Amino acid sequence: QVQLVESGGGLVQAGGSLRLSCAASGRSFSSYAIGWFRQAPGKEREFVAAISWSGTSTYYADSVKGRFTISRDNAKNTVYLQMNSLKPEDTAFYYCGAHRSGPYYYSSGYDPWGQGTQVTVSS
């Protein structure tokens, strides 16, 4: 069973950048697609980006397309989310999850999840 740990969150001004990491333990990591989701207070968890097991296919929410880039390094068991041109509305807790089934943008298709990392963008 793969286990996931997110890192890289923090406080940044609008227009700034952050890079989140999703580090995995377990030899099966490279067989999973990985997704990033975020959840703001009082809101549902929403899809941000996903990457196939090989890294050849990537998917993005319209709200982050052109600003965020997802990538992976299977040799390091890590998936990254490079976030540029950050906006206050990007403020949320960010989670990575291992994709099991269904469309990439459905959170119900992911298990397990990491514990999350907070991203706060000030205006």
DSSP-derived letter for residue 103 is -
Q: Residue 10 and residue 6: Cα distance in Å, rounded?
A: 12
- Structure tokens that stand for 96 in this block: 């990575």
Per-residue model confidence (pLDDT) at position 23: 97
Average pLDDT on 37-64 reads: 96
Average pLDDT in the chain: 95
- What are 23-42's pLDDT values in tens digits? 999 878 888 999 999 999 99
Closest by CA to 7, choosing from 84, 121, 118, 107, is: 118
Top-confidence residue, 27 or 77: 77
Closest by CA to 98, choosing from 38, 28, 18, is: 28
Three-state secondary structure of 55-84: CCCEEECCCCCCCEEEEEEHHHCEEEEEEC
pLDDT at 47 over 80: yes
Per-residue model confidence (pLDDT) at position 38: 98
Per-residue model confidence (pLDDT) at position 42: 94
